[in-house]
């Protein structure tokens, strides 16, 4: 028998609806949008008001001055691109693990440590090849 996700009452539409809304509000309430807004405002301000390029190093121009056009700027851009890919790949890997575990969110522990079992290994490779292409 399938277990309800996050401890929701099985067969209760109202409980499932409340749980879905609570999870959505928890993950997409004001705090993630506030982070995106601060970054967008910094990029917009320095691009359109200060005539700086649309790069993340431009947001550090008041702190570092002309040094953002040298090695400091390269370090900032490289670091932030790496952070972007690491955080994106973390959520992407959770999706691929869930797909290869036949939709089970509580997959066996050996899947997490040693990858998908042999029957799902080719599916996992296909997901890894198709995901960046979208």
In the numeric block, which tokens belong to residue 123? 């599916």
Alpha helices in the chain (DSSP H): 13-27, 30-44, 61-64, 71-100, 109-114, 118-130
pLDDT of residue 53: 92
pLDDT of residue 1: 46
Tens of pLDDT along the chain (134 residues)? Answer: 456 556 666 667 777 777 777 777 776 677 777 888 888 899 999 999 999 999 889 999 999 999 999 999 999 999 988 887 776 665 666 666 666 666 666 655 555 555 545 455 566 666 666 665 55
pLDDT of residue 118: 46
Q: Please give the DSSP secondary-structure letter assigned to residue 46.
A: I
CB 71 within 8 A of CB 62: no
Domain chopping of the chain, boundaries: 10-51, 55-134
pLDDT of residue 97: 64
pLDDT digits (tens, 9 = 90+) for 65-86: 999 999 999 999 999 888 877 7
Could you give the dihedral angle defined by the CA atoms of residues 41, 47, 51 and 52, in that order, rounded to the nearest 10 degrees? 110
Q: In angstroms, rounded to a whole number, what is the distance separating the alpha carbons of residues 20 and 60?
A: 39
pLDDT of residue 14: 79
pLDDT of residue 74: 93
């Amino acid at each position: 028998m399938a277990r309800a996700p996050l401890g929701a009452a099985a067969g209760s539409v109202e409980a499932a609806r409340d749980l879905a809304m609570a999870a959505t509000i928890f993950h997409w309430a004001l705090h993630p949008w506030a982070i995106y807004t601060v970054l967008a405002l910094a990029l917009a301000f320095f691009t359109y008001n200060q005539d700086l390029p649309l790069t993340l190093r431009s947001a550090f121009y008041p702190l570092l001055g002309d040094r953002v056009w040298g090695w400091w700027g390269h370090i900032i851009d490289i670091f932030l691109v790496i952070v972007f890919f690491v955080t994106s790949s973390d959520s992407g890997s959770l999706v691929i693990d869930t797909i290869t575990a036949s939709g089970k969110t509580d997959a066996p522990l050996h899947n997490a440590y040693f990858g998908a079992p042999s029957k799902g290994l080719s599916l996992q490779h296909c997901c890894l090849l198709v995901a960046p292409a979208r």
